[in-house]
Every structure is written in C-alpha cells, then in structure tokens.
C-alpha cells in the first residue's frame, strides 16, 4: 500500500519521526507540494496525508486509487469532503491535539503586551540599561492583570484552558458560548451574553470556530461596545476579525493593543492593514507548534490511519 505525505515539513521539520506511518505501508514524504505537482505526486497512492495542500474533486478524479485522506490539522476545509464522500473516500482530521499549547500561547501574547519583554531585552543588549541614568527604565506602560476581566468568546476546550490560566493570574473570566456548562462556573468565572462580554472585559480572547455566524465578529460595531483601551487576542481563526476595523481602532487607541497569531490570509500579505497598526503583535500561526503538540498530532494521525486500515475508522469528518 502506498502512502504519500504532500506537505510534511510544517508538522515535522526534522525533529519527529515518520516511523509510525512507515510501518503501515510504502511511505513517500514531500516537504511541500506545489499545485501543479499534486496529482503527479499522489499518483496511484491509496493513502494521502496533507496539511494545507488542497485535494479537490479534480484531483480525486485524476487519482482514482485514493481510499483515505488524512488531514494533519483540525481544520479540513482544504478537502472537497462532499466529493470524497461520494467516492467512498474517508477523510479524517486531528482534533484536540493542541489544546494546552494554544491556550498557553494566548496568554503568552497577553503577557508580551503587558510587559514587552522582547523589546526590553533587546534594549538591554543594545546598551541602553548600561548607559541609563536611572536604575531602571521602561518604554511601554506595564500592566498588571490581577483583578482585571478577561472575556472569552468561545468556551470550548481551548477557551477553558485560557480561562484557567487567566484565573491563576488573578483575573476574572466572562465566557460567551452557545453551549453553557454550569459546572465550569465559579466565583471568578461566569457565562455572559456577548454584549456583556464586550462591555465589561479588559481583555477579549477569541477561541470560537470560524462559522458564518462568527466571521467578522470583531468589527467596528462590536469594538464600539468595548471598553476604551481594551486588549484583543486572536489565535483561533483570522477571519473572525475585520482587520481594517481593528487597525482603525488601534490607531484611534480605542483598542490599546492586539495580539494575533492568525490573519485573514496566510501567509500574511504585505497590504494587510494590521502590519502598520500601532501596538499590534503578529506571530506566524505558531500556537499549535510546540514539539509536544506536534508529536501528539503525529501519534493521532498514525492511529487514525491504523483504525481505518483495521476497518473501524475514527475522527472521520465526512461520514
């Protein structure tokens, strides 16, 4: 049985092993696959593993041997799942592998905004502390989080993880989600309606999926309902934010700062308005990428394929 990995580099740039998949068939791994090479590289392979390389209806038509498509991610919008279902091709994804890593990264973005540690470290190494007339200095306002309120839009596994860390820092949490689990509420954590979250929060973290109902949920109208000087965090999906509206709010200082690990088009384009917005930290979609998280992803991907080959598929998204 032939197995082809179309874009394995991001998942495994060399610090993990493909041996789990090698044990299941004749494996060929490509670091990246350009669009004009997808059909050629799949060829007569029965098993296709992809992260962001798209598998279209035309590709499936041209590669009739495909029986299984494994996505090395939670999102699977790069696959034409309806065509796959019609052709009896199982499509699986990797749920829950990065919960702790993504929650941790959301807080890392927040702490960088509060202290600008990277900037001040660089300043020290450039000699500014050595040559400073005072015994300390800082270039940005420093922010203490204890006693402040974090609003979390989307209170699933990742939102709950971020909320627990926020509470450990002494913050109160207001959670907005269409599904409410009263068992998660305590003295410092409560569910609230969206307008209340917007109005009462000092920090707003986005952890909701991208649906038509959530696309652009942060826009000029919802920003207008927020406190002056609010901090916005997004390491969920870029299109949750209307980027020009956020850039305008950063320029006007309605929003004090933003910490973003995702943008609407990735890789980011040079004309993205947030690139020139003040106090906007942007990282290249790396919340999910600690080695521990990627190893978990690899293990689940191998188990997904094993289960399929054993006739009991799991994590199938097109049943």
Active site amino acids: 237, 266, 285
Q: What is the total residue count of the chain?
A: 319
Residue among 230, 239, 292, 236 at smallest CA distance from 261? 236
For 123, other C-beta atoms within 10 Å of its C-beta total 16
Distance CA 94, CA 75 (A): 8
Contacting residues for 186 by C-beta, under 8 A, at least 6 apart: none
Contacting residues for 134 by C-beta, under 8 A, at least 6 apart: none
Distance CA 289, CA 11 (A): 8
Residue among 146, 140, 159, 148 at smallest CA distance from 233? 159
CB 225 within 8 A of CB 217: no
Give the helix/strand (H/E) hosting 130: none
């Amino acid at each position: 049985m032939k197995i082809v990995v179309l874009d394995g580099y991001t998942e495994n740039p060399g610090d993990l092993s493909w041996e789990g998949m090698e044990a299941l068939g004749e494996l060929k791994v490509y670091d990246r696959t350009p669009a004009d090479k997808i059909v050629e590289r799949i060829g007569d392979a029965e098993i296709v593993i992809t992260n962001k390389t798209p598998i279209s209806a035309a590709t499936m038509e041209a590669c009739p041997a495909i029986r299984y498509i494994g996505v090395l991610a939670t999102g699977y919008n790069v696959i034409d799942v309806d065509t796959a279902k019609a052709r009896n091709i199982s499509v699986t994804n990797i749920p829950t592998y990065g919960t702790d890593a993504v929650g941790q990264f959301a807080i890392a973005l927040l702490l960088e905004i509060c202290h600008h540690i990277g900037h001040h470290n660089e300043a020290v190494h450039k000699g500014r502390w050595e040559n400073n007339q005072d015994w300390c200095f800082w270039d940005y306002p420093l922010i203490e989080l204890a006693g402040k309120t974090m609003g979390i839009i989307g209170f699933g596994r990742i939102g709950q993880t971020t909320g627990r860390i926020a509470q450990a820092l002494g913050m109160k949490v207001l959670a907005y989600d269409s599904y409410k689990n009263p068992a998660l509420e305590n003295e410092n954590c409560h569910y609230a309606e969206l307008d209340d979250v917007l109005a009462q929060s000092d920090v707003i973290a986005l952890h909701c999926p991208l649906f038509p109902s959530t696309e652009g949920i942060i826009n000029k109208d919802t920003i207008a309902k927020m406190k002056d000087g609010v901090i916005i965090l997004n390491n969920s999906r870029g299109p949750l934010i209307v980027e020009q509206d956020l850039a305008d709010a950063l320029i006007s200082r309605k929003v004090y700062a933003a910490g973003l690990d995702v943008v609407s088009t990735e890789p980011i384009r040079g004309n993205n308005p947030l690139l020139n917005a003040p106090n906007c930290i942007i990282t290249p979609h790396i919340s999910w990428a600690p080695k521990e998280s990627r190893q978990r992803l690899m293990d689940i991907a191998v188990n997904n394929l094993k289960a399929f080959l054993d006739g009991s598929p799991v994590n199938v998204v097109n049943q």
